[in-house]
């Protein structure tokens, strides 16, 4: 398994990061909007977003003073596809 995929699976093992991905999967959101869905501080949410950025699970774009985040499905499809090949799994059902 590639190092990138290992890091991605580690990032996905946290329930806060999974919830963040659910929030940004259909529309991009800024940190303040994401924070409204958690009982956590903005720096804590930013830390989770940084982990998601580093492994490629979210893309980000700075607009003025705000940074907007959106889910990057291509990265997870790539890693999962590699794992399917490793285990000789067929994804067409």
- pLDDT the model gives residue 91: 63
pLDDT for 5 equals 83
d(CA 39, CA 64): 26
Q: What 3-state class would DSSP assign to 33?
A: helix
The reported pLDDT for the residue numbered 76 is 82
Q: Return averaged pLDDT per consecutive 10 residues of the chain, 93 residues in all.
A: 84 96 96 96 97 96 95 85 70 59
Architecture of the 3-86 domain: Orthogonal Bundle (1.10)
The CA-based angle 15-52-31, given to 5 degrees, is 85
Q: Percent helix, strand and coil across the chain, each rounded to 5?
A: 55, 15, 30
pTM of the model: 0.85
CB contact at 8 A, 28 and 69:
yes
Query: What's the farthest any 2 CA atoms get from each other in the chain?
Result: 47
Dist. CA 90–CA 69, nearest whole Å = 32
Residue 78: predicted pLDDT: 81
């Amino acid at each position: 398994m590639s190092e990138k995929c290992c890091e991605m699976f580690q990032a996905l093992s946290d329930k806060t990061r999974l919830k963040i991905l659910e929030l940004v999967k259909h529309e991009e959101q800024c940190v303040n909007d994401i924070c409204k869905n958690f009982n956590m501080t903005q720096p804590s949410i930013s830390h989770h977003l940084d982990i998601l950025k580093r492994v490629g699970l979210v893309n980000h774009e700075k607009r003025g003073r705000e940074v907007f985040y959106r889910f990057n499905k291509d990265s997870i499809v790539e890693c999962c596809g590699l794992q399917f090949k490793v285990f000789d799994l067929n994804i067409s059902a």
